[in-house]
Amino acid sequence: MIGVIIAIFVLGYLAIAFEHPLKINKSGTAIIMGVLIWTIYQMFSNNNNVEAELAHHLSAISEILFFLMGAMTIVEVIDAHDGFNLITNRINTQSPIRLLWIMAIITFFLSAILDNLTATIVMISLARKLVKNPEQRLFFAGMTVIAANAGGAWSPIGDVTTTMLWIGGQVSAENIIKSLFIPSLICALVPLIYVTLFNKSALSGKLDKLDKKKLSPENKVVFFTGIGGLVFVPLFKQITHLPPYIGMMLALGVVWVIADVIHRKKGNDEQKHYSASNALMRIDMPSLLFFLGILLAVSGLESLHILSSLAQWMDQTIGNKDVIVIGIGLLSAIVDNVPLVAASIGMYDLTSYPINHKIWEFIAYCAGTGGSILIIGSAAGVAAMGMEKIDFIWYLKKFGFIAFLGYIAGAIIYLIQFQLFYT
């Protein structure tokens, strides 16, 4: 039985990794994989508590899914109100190099508040308005991917893997911010400095002025309510000690009511466009189902003690956990970081590695930023690839090495920082 389950997981994982050449959506593959693992476990094991174990894992999985669903919906409501123009309207420069720095810095912090995927989409949409040269715009897109992934790693709500660790109780919000901000910043700055110094010819010329769109007071209210709600979630958890998804649901409810109140006197079609119920129809449901399938599959491996056995084997053969975690980050450039982090959570338990242990913080950094090395290594990269038609080999030549440099530089800074302040 164990061999069959491992084979299903490996085959499913390969199908997910090669989603693009196979042209089979990874969400469907992940769901089949997760369901098959639990079905075989139920049918061929002597364990009478399989259903109870599944219910236990589903409770934890649901927390992540509801959290992500709430965050996605709030972002969609803000976007429907053109709220992100409040940020982009303040960019006035016509210098490509200066714009690159401004966009990278905004992306870094915007990703921490929203998420790396949304930040990437917003900033590449801005680049399209300002940078008319398609070749030049590729450099903005590549740097946006690196900055978005770096910015998402240090925030409990910035990257789905960090969110998983936060909701799972492996890290606390204040500690992950304090520990990973500087390493993540270095991870973004090293490539940014490199691109600025060695691609001056590609970043020459003068850019067009941005046509600014004025926002109504109502749209500004929705923007600040939505952003405030997202930022309030970690504080809500700290005050109430309730799970983060409760705070996210509260934030969603407030945004929902405010949007409905603002537009209640308008026509049905216009009111529908701005409503949270309409935003729910636009959120990325395939991604949520992908997370469901992956987390079901990994929880099945965890229940069968396959992951704990893998952790023991890695400790015996490799030994150094820092090397193991750096390897996980590099692997996340090839395969999705969600199953890698889910597997890591299953391999290392909270009894041996309590909340805010070094291993959890380092996993959050490495899994969050390692995906920048390849364009297909993160959701932000895949989004940029689709929006700007970035060639895999072009990105590898222009950004693969410098993303690797940033990744390693940030990892070294984290290890030095830990050695200086926490040992």
Most confident of 70-74, 183-187, 263-267, 311-315: 183-187
Radius of gyration of the chain (CA): 22
Most confident of 15-29, 149-163, 336-350: 149-163
pLDDT average, residue stretch 194-206: 82
pLDDT for residue 136: 87
Whole-number Å distance between alpha carbons of 89 and 211: 8
pLDDT for residue 190: 96
Tell me the DSSP string of 329-390.
HHHTTTS-HHHHHHHHHHHS-TTTS-TT-HHHHHHHHHHHHGGGGSTTSSHHHHHHHHHHT-
pLDDT average, residue stretch 193-206: 83
Cβ neighbours for 359, distance < 8 A, ≥ 6 positions apart: 321, 325, 348, 353
Least confident stretch, 56-70, 84-98, 342-356: 84-98
Whole-number Å distance between alpha carbons of 150 and 120: 12
Whole-number Å distance between alpha carbons of 305 and 310: 9
Is residue 322 scored above 80 in pLDDT?
yes
Q: Where are the alpha helices (DSSP H) in 131-215?
A: 134-153, 160-167, 173-198
pLDDT for residue 357: 92
Confidence band of 354 (pLDDT split at 50, 70, 90): very high
- Supply the range of the domain harboring residue 383: 2-421
pLDDT for residue 208: 67
- Is 106 in contact with 135 (CB distance < 8 Å)? no
Tokens read off for 45? 């094991």
pTM summary value: 0.80
- Tell me what the pLDDT averaged over the chain comes to: 86
Using alpha carbons only, what angle is made at residue 201 by residues 198 and 202, rounded to the nearest 5 degrees?
Answer: 90
Is residue 151 scored above 90 in pLDDT?
yes
Least confident stretch, 99-113, 187-201, 287-301: 287-301
pLDDT for residue 187: 96
Q: Give the DSSP H or E segment for 398.
A: none
DSSP-assigned letter for residue 214 = P
pLDDT for residue 109: 94
pLDDT in tens, 266-308: 777 777 788 888 888 888 888 888 888 888 888 888 788 777 7
Confidence band of 182 (pLDDT split at 50, 70, 90): very high
pLDDT average, residue stretch 368-375: 89
Confidence band of 255 (pLDDT split at 50, 70, 90): very high
pLDDT in tens, 24-81: 888 899 899 999 999 998 888 888 888 898 998 888 889 888 888 888 898 889 888 8
pLDDT for residue 145: 94
Whole-number Å distance between alpha carbons of 272 and 275: 5
Nearest to 296 by CA among 71, 59, 16: 59
Domain count of the chain?
A: 1
Most confident of 21-25, 150-154, 166-170, 371-375: 150-154
Length of the chain: 423
Whole-number Å distance between alpha carbons of 273 and 167: 32
Whole-number Å distance between alpha carbons of 68 and 395: 29
pLDDT average, residue stretch 397-401: 92
Confidence band of 131 (pLDDT split at 50, 70, 90): confident
pLDDT for residue 258: 93
pLDDT for residue 276: 86
Going 187 to 344 to 416 to 175, the CA torsion angle's sign is positive
Cα separation values, 331 from 242, 243, 361, 376, Å: 34, 30, 17, 12
pLDDT for residue 116: 86
Is residue 150 scored above 80 in pLDDT?
yes
pLDDT for residue 306: 79
